[in-house]
Amino acid sequence: MNIALTHLQRLEAESIHIFREVAAAFAKPVMLYSVGKDSSVLMHLAMKAFYPAKPPFPFLHVDTTWKFREMIAFRDQMAQKLGFDLLVHVNEDGVRDNINPFDHGSNTHTHVMKTVALRQALDKYGFDAAFGGARRDEEKSRAKERIFSFRNAQHVWDPKNQRPEMWKIFNTRIATGESIRVFPLSNWTELDIWQYILQEDIPIVPLYFAKERPVVERDGMLILKDDDRMELRPGETVENRLVRFRTLGCYPLTGAIESDADTLEAIVGEMLTARTSERQGRLIDRDEAGSMEKKKREGYF
Amino acid sequence: MRHITAESLAPTDGIRDYLAVQEQKSLLRFLTCGSVDDGKSTLIGRLLSDTKQIFEDQLAALERDSRKHGTTGDDVDFALLVDGLEAEREQGITIDIAYRFFATPKRKFIVADTPGHEQYTRNMATGASTADLAIVLIDARQGVLRQTRRHSIIASLLGIRHIVLAVNKIDLVGFDKAVFERIIEDFRQFSHKLGFETIVPIPMSARYGDNVTSRSDKTEWYSGPTLIEHLEAVSVDEAVVELPFRFPVQYVNRPNLDFRGFAGTIASGSVSPGDEVVVAKSGKSSHVRRIVSHGGDLSQAVAGQAITLVLDDEVEVSRGNMLVSPAARPQVADQFAANIVWFDEHALLPGRSYILRTETDQTSATVTDLKYRVNVNDFAHEAAKSLEMNEVGICNISTRAPIAFDTFAENRTTGAFILIDRITNATVGAGMILHSLRRAENIHWQSLDVGKHGRADLKNQRPAVFWFTGLSGSGKSTIANLFEKKLFATGRHTYILDGDNVRHGLNRDLGFTDADRVENIRRVAEVARLMADAGLIVIVSFISPFSAERRMARELMANGEFVEVFVDTPFEECARRDPKGLYARALNGEIKNFTGVDSPYEAPENPEIHLKTLGKSAEEMVEALELWLNERDIAENQYDSGGGI
């Protein structure tokens, strides 16, 4: 009999195990749905883990109001198709104060509209466990994080004092107000994600595929002019170029790459020969050294 | 992966072929361990760099960081690739494990870079628990150190059977063969008892790359493989598929009345529809009807797969139980011996109650006997009363409910557990089961015809355990005595368990160390439980300084029966009263481990009754207790009569 599991089968089994563990051990879990490719994989795994039932938790999208329009359309379409319970949270204080990436910079914008918004949402609903799609191969401080990552009542991560995590035996015990961030994709690499999307035919936002799009060159990045809120600086022009995105976030903070990869196979091929990491396209990681760790300690995913 | 070039890859049609090959590659999980500054992080940085896993933007950041924090002069400091926390880069040490991923044309790898400092041993154990191979690094100038031994022992205990002995910094000893051979001999001397299947020594320089991914021309006397050659070739397969079927039930999937599936990950063996399976704890048998999966039912599933089983019969199975092969069943017991690695700064205390968790089961557990501690230098078995942080020992464990398990030697998944602190919820220890204790098999509950309710009804009362806690001299005995007199006068059946009195008899063998205090409370709590079972109202008057033991006592009693009474008198007032002259002596240093002086008192956070004694008389205190008792009895009677008998 053919008994050796393939690499992807192992990763899939591990992730499904993690999903079920949370469903069994926590009173009120939630899945953070960021609409990107990792979220798409996460959602697919959640559907598998509880089949024939639906995932026994809602999906939460923290909307900064600056996401690509195609992401929002895709999100609503998926929610309808798969029939999951979608919660959308916006930091209304930030909207009132008109916090935006152009006037306030990526740091303040991300902190107010993402990190604080997330904390608000977790507190509002009283979630005690939250799934996220972070992978250890993405970034140095993520490489250090446990699969079940403890947060105190203020949502703070203490990287110097993490719980030991032995075998597949997860410590799911918390006191009132505390919570756990759970990362089922911890051991997946970017290649694994694409390979799985290809194998399972998982729908992803069309922005990942190359297409002629109106972009502006700014600070060494190609920014898609997704709506009229983006004002051109002197000397800037909008050009139609053949581009795609390796990662997705807030459109003013996410750089496109020039590419003609318009199929999954071509994307994988391009990734295999890439010479820069996927986070290269993210403005928020570059602000200062150790910036991801700092954001994570404050409650960012 | 990234070592391939655009030219080597045919456009799109080639991709699926390429991925198909990737998909068939095996995976090796390993860790690097050893003492501080032996070069663990540098080695991983070297592996990632030589296998072309580092992107340009990451390399630019690394060069920037090297200038700021690096310890290698003008060279790139590869350790900064893995030491991802700010505190690590600032201090130039590794605090927690980092997981890194790389691949060669032959294999995929997940490597855990673990810290060398003794205080972070628990993080090393975390990395080792999911690894199949350990690279033990040794600084050629230093030889085998205490941490080398500790990490080797922990790797062995956690079931790692394959070792690479990386004799690093060989350049700093002039590529000297004699140094290399002496270190191998030293290592073999102490490791022959550790049960490693392979030990492969390699002389290397992680910093300069000698014998890491390419053969060094400076060690011509060495004919063995380079590190990467060995990692690509070593076989670590454990035939878990050949072991008896074990399916720890993780989650019962019940979306509607027509579907009841048992979800979990197969720990060992395989299963097909039609197979007979047995519920481990009850011995009830059934057959597998379906293996349900999202993409359609499966005809077979094997170890490592996360599946959902539907059985033929409505047998009782819940999370924590196991479905197993009828021909080879696991043990089901509430007492067993285990190796324990202790992680917490608060020592393991025999008698203290912890939460024990297996992959899916959870119960409370106490260490009934710490048989010995293992000296990491010479493996000597040393008598010990407690297990300190990073120590290893062999213990007898008693659980409140039986668990289903195999020995760790038989099955790494079903033979392991963790211990969790009841108060802080910290993961305080890891355990590997050695064998069940025979007495568990021979002692069965005797079922008795007269029950607790009957005994209490005859006394026309409801049992209760009033647990008085407070400092010495706080007034516990005085209030308890008066309370009992009042109860007695109203026809209640009572008994006082007094700290001093019990120490004259039942607990005369115990002293005042933390370990003995825990045992003192455990025994009294068990006696109180028996008395409550006999229908009595029990008054326990004990300092009982630790919240963990009070919680353990609470969990022994039936719901609502345990009444924590905090006799709250400030330390200064107790010391001023000093009815037995003990405070004067303790403050003089004549008595050791005196609560409130040099031993802590953990005040209750949510006692049922909080008696603030300052300026109040004992009578007033007792009135509060009586009021509480009457209100409870009225409430319970209402509940009973409302229950529709």
Nearest Cβ partner for A175 among B1, B319, B425 = B425
- Nearest chain A alpha carbon to B121: A164
- Nearest chain A alpha carbon to B69: A289
Q: Which CATH architecture has domain A7-193+290-298?
A: 3-Layer(aba) Sandwich (3.40)
Whether B640 has a pLDDT exceeding 50, the answer reads no
The pair of structure tokens assigned to A109 is: 């914008």
| B209 and B258 part of one domain | no
CATH number at residue B370: 2.40.30.10
CB contact under 8 A, A280 and B413: no
> Smallest Cα–Cα separation from B48: which of B122, B100, B119?
B100
Q: What percent of chain A has pLDDT over 70?
A: 93
In this structure, of B225-229, B478-482, B638-642, the range with the lowest mean pLDDT score is: B638-642
Question: Domain range holding B574?
Answer: 452-642
- Nearest chain A alpha carbon to B90: A290
Q: Is B305 part of a structural domain of the chain? A: yes
d(CA B417, CA B358): 4
| B587 and B510 part of one domain | yes
| B229 and B247 part of one domain | no
Q: How far is CA A253 from CA A136, A183, A216, A231, B641, in A?
A: 22, 24, 12, 14, 67
Question: Do the beta carbons of residue B521 and residue B549 sit within 8 Å?
Answer: yes
| B306 and B435 part of one domain | no
Q: Is B445 part of a structural domain of the chain? A: no
Delimit the domains of chain A by residue range: 7-193+290-298, 205-284
CATH number at residue B171: 3.40.50.300
Q: What percent of chain B has pLDDT over 90?
A: 51
H or E segment to which residue A267 belongs: helix A264-272
**Before A52, cis peptide (omega within 30)?**
yes
**Where a domain ends, among B289, B324, B359?**
B324
- Residue in the structure block whose two tokens are 């997946």: A188
CB contact under 8 A, A143 and B263: no
The pair of structure tokens assigned to B567 is: 């006799």
Cα Rg of chain A, angstroms: 19
CB contact under 8 A, A17 and B265: yes
**Where a domain ends, among B440, B472, B495?**
B440
| B201 and B56 part of one domain | yes
Q: CB contacts < 8 Å between A and B, how many?
A: 208
Question: Do the beta carbons of residue B478 and residue B585 sit within 8 Å?
Answer: no
- Nearest chain A alpha carbon to B27: A7
Distance from CA of A69 to the nearest CA of B (A): 29
Q: What is the pTM of this model?
A: 0.81
- Selected residue with higher pLDDT from A12 and B13: A12
pLDDT at position B7: 41
Whether B442 has a pLDDT exceeding 60, the answer reads no
CB contact under 8 A, B250 and A171: no
Which residues of chain A have a CB within 8 Å of the CB of B13?
265
Nearest Cβ partner for A171 among B64, B65, B357 = B357
Distance from CA of A165 to the nearest CA of B (A): 5
Whether A277 has a pLDDT exceeding 80, the answer reads no
Angle between helices B146-157 and B177-191 (to 10 degrees): 50
| B427 and B511 part of one domain | no
| B582 and B479 part of one domain | yes
> Smallest Cα–Cα separation from B1: which of A38, A277, A254?
A277
Distance from CA of B249 to the nearest CA of A (A): 10
Residue B229: how many other CB atoms lie within 10 Å: 17
pLDDT tens, residue by residue, B164-221: 999 999 999 999 999 999 999 999 988 888 999 999 999 999 989 999 999 999 999 9
| B534 and B635 part of one domain | yes
| B285 and B336 part of one domain | no
Question: Do the beta carbons of residue B300 and residue B271 sit within 8 Å?
Answer: yes
Distance from CA of A201 to the nearest CA of B (A): 12
User: Would you state the torsion angle of the CA atoms of residues A190, A196, A202, A206, taken in this order, to the nearest 10 degrees?
Assistant: 30
pLDDT at position B10: 47
CB contact under 8 A, B129 and A167: yes
Question: Do the beta carbons of residue A248 and residue A254 sit within 8 Å?
Answer: yes
Report ipTM for this prediction. Answer: 0.90
The pair of structure tokens assigned to A84 is: 């999951």
Whether A273 has a pLDDT exceeding 80, the answer reads no
> Smallest Cα–Cα separation from B42: which of B212, B192, B254, B223?
B212
pLDDT at position A287: 47
| B162 and B129 part of one domain | yes
- Candidates A166, A180, A268, A287, partner chain B, best to mutate (most B CBs within 10 A): A166
| B388 and B459 part of one domain | no
Whether B58 has a pLDDT exceeding 90, the answer reads no
- Nearest chain B alpha carbon to A139: B84
- Candidates B54, B104, B418, partner chain A, best to mutate (most A CBs within 10 A): B418
- Nearest chain B alpha carbon to A173: B425
In this structure, of A285-289, B398-402, B585-589, the range with the lowest mean pLDDT score is: A285-289
H or E segment to which residue B641 belongs: helix B618-642
Nearest Cβ partner for A143 among B84, B253, B270 = B84
Residues whose CB falls within 8 Å of the CB of residue B27, separated by 6 or more in sequence, listed in order: A7, A10, B107, B108, B109, B110
Rounded to a whole number of angstroms, the distance between the first and last alpha carbons of chain B is 72
Distance from CA of B261 to the nearest CA of A (A): 9
The count of structural domains within chain B is: 4
The pair of structure tokens assigned to B403 is: 């668990």
Give the pLDDT band of residue A279 (cuts 50, 70, 90).
Answer: low
Selected catalytic residue, list B268, B386, B472, B544: B544
Distance from CA of A284 to the nearest CA of B (A): 15
CB contact under 8 A, A268 and B85: no
Q: Is B197 part of a structural domain of the chain? A: yes
Q: Is B447 part of a structural domain of the chain? A: no
Determine whether B325 is an active site residue.
Answer: no
d(CA B544, CA B522): 10
d(CA B643, CA B645): 6
| B85 and B209 part of one domain | yes
Which residues of chain A have a CB within 8 Å of the CB of B255?
52-54
Nearest Cβ partner for A173 among B99, B306, B355 = B355
Q: What percent of chain A has pLDDT over 90?
A: 65
CB contact under 8 A, A20 and B250: yes
CB contact under 8 A, A144 and B85: yes
Q: Is B380 part of a structural domain of the chain? A: yes
Whether B565 has a pLDDT exceeding 80, the answer reads yes
- Selected residue with higher pLDDT from A214 and B453: A214
pLDDT tens, residue by residue, A170-215: 999 999 899 999 999 999 998 899 989 999 999 999 999 999 999 9
Angle at B115 between CA B114 and CA B116, to 5 degrees: 120
Q: Is B203 part of a structural domain of the chain? A: yes
CB contact under 8 A, A7 and B12: no
pLDDT tens, residue by residue, B571-612: 999 988 888 888 988 888 888 888 888 888 999 988 999 999
Question: Do the beta carbons of residue B34 and residue B138 sit within 8 Å?
Answer: yes
pLDDT tens, residue by residue, A78-110: 999 988 899 999 999 999 999 988 888 888 998
H or E segment to which residue B254 belongs: strand B251-256
d(CA A53, CA A62): 25
Residue B72: how many other CB atoms lie within 10 Å: 13
**Where a domain ends, among B406, B440, B474?**
B440
Which residues of chain B have a CB within 8 Å of the CB of A128?
none
Question: Do the beta carbons of residue B83 and residue B89 sit within 8 Å?
Answer: yes
